Structure 1
Amino acid sequence: MSKTSLTKNIEKALYDYCYDLGHIAVDEVTMPGNEGIVDTLSVEMRGNRSEGYEKIWRFYEIKVSKQDFYSKNKLTFLGHFNYFVLPVELYEVVIADIPKHIGVLTYRKGTITVKKKPIRQKELIINEEILFRNLVTSMNREVFKAKQIEKGLSIYNTETLMKEIVKRTAKGKSDFLVDFMLEIYAEDKNKFLNLLIDSSVSEDYKELVLSVLSQELKYLKEDVVLIKKDYREERRLKRDAWLKIKQLENQLKEIAN
């Protein structure tokens, strides 16, 4: 479903961080069996073409709230190096409950910082060929999304959209299509939400519509809380800066006299 703005900002900052390191990274890579979906997966190719490459795999799990961190959702830590990626404020709250071998990257205002280095795991828990295949599959998905941006939703009629969503819901894949519409097509987002509301009169779509709209409402409320926190933090910093200025002005006056 739709993600909070904080989650999306962290994803972007993490991608930039991996890119700067020269790693290949992609979001939301499905693991085989019951191993779940890792938030971000990256691979570092060490070596050279003539001597061959060693692949170093890193798994990143993004958590944006205390509730999110302590939820029962499966953590997908299967790489040579495994990390939590947390807002710096959350890291200070949960630091005691982070396993010794798991690394931590913190996020603050667009910047990723290494707070705790992970311990390298000697062996991958997952077959590397399968891991590489799933990485490529997820990258192909992202390319498909990017190429679809130019089309928008206008080329699809309502019935076609709703049938596709219901079909994917039955297969447990609705998250991809709904995320695709809500997040990629920013200009068409309201159109899509209105489409869902208009379709809720049909019993075939009612359960899906309620689920999507409830999730969207949840994330909007979380965004409001984050905006309030940022506003209070900004006011505090301005107040501290003003007090510092006044303090320095008084010190200068004392020295001048």
Structure 2
Amino acid sequence: MSDLRTRAITALIGLILISIVLFIGGFALKGTILLVSILAIYEMSRALNLINIKLNIIAIMVGLISIIGLQTLNLNIFSSLIVVFFVLAISYLFSNKISLVDSGITMLIFYYIPLNLSLLISLDKTPFLYLVFIIAFSTDTFAYLTGANFGKIKLLESVSPKKSVEGFIGGILGCLICSIFYLMYFNLNFSILSVIFIVLASVMGQIGDLFASKIKRLARIKDYSNLLPGHGGVMDRIDSIIFIIPLIYSLLNIVNNL
């Protein structure tokens, strides 16, 4: 089977599964986020190990459990950062094998992966949940098409040689068009504020892709794993989504408070 056909089949299956999970929401969404978080943490831990950074997996898992508990009690999940902070502090105090650098990066990865992903729960049963994926997929698609056909100026060659400035701009414009159609079709709140956040989310989604790519380049790996045929690992598929979620979460809170 050709690589293109493999990628297409994997993408189609993934799109169907994502659509089902988003439609059902509730426990299906929570369970999927938990599974994706664990897989992504595992992949990131393996990559960072290659550059001699040891994540405190116990601290991250305790933090993940605290997120579940806080969500169950309808409390602010950002309090999980406090839990992780204290676990890291205690671990550093009683173990000579844990460095401050490793502890700091552990905190970053906890916020980066499970905490950001868990914000999707707050978007459940709202149109903003779908908006996250529309922004991610449309940005990625239009950035690729624009870059492949018109890309000449390298965006950040040291991190991702194939990405171009033209693709970066094309991704934003394509995303904006798709998102505006989505908002208008469903008679959702459409304003200058929404446009600003959509553009920022598209920009941050592409930065998220570059952020994850830089870690791979430092670790000298092509993909985070081979779990998804033709697409690499879980982290290779959610790197942009992770950076988009907090912006759409913020937009929802602003809209609700207007």
TM-score normalised over the length of structure 1: 0.29
Q: Higher helix fraction: Structure 1 or Structure 2?
A: 2
Higher RCO, 1 vs 2 (CA within 8 Å, ≥6 residues apart):
2
Larger Rg: 1
TM, length-normalised to structure 2: 0.29
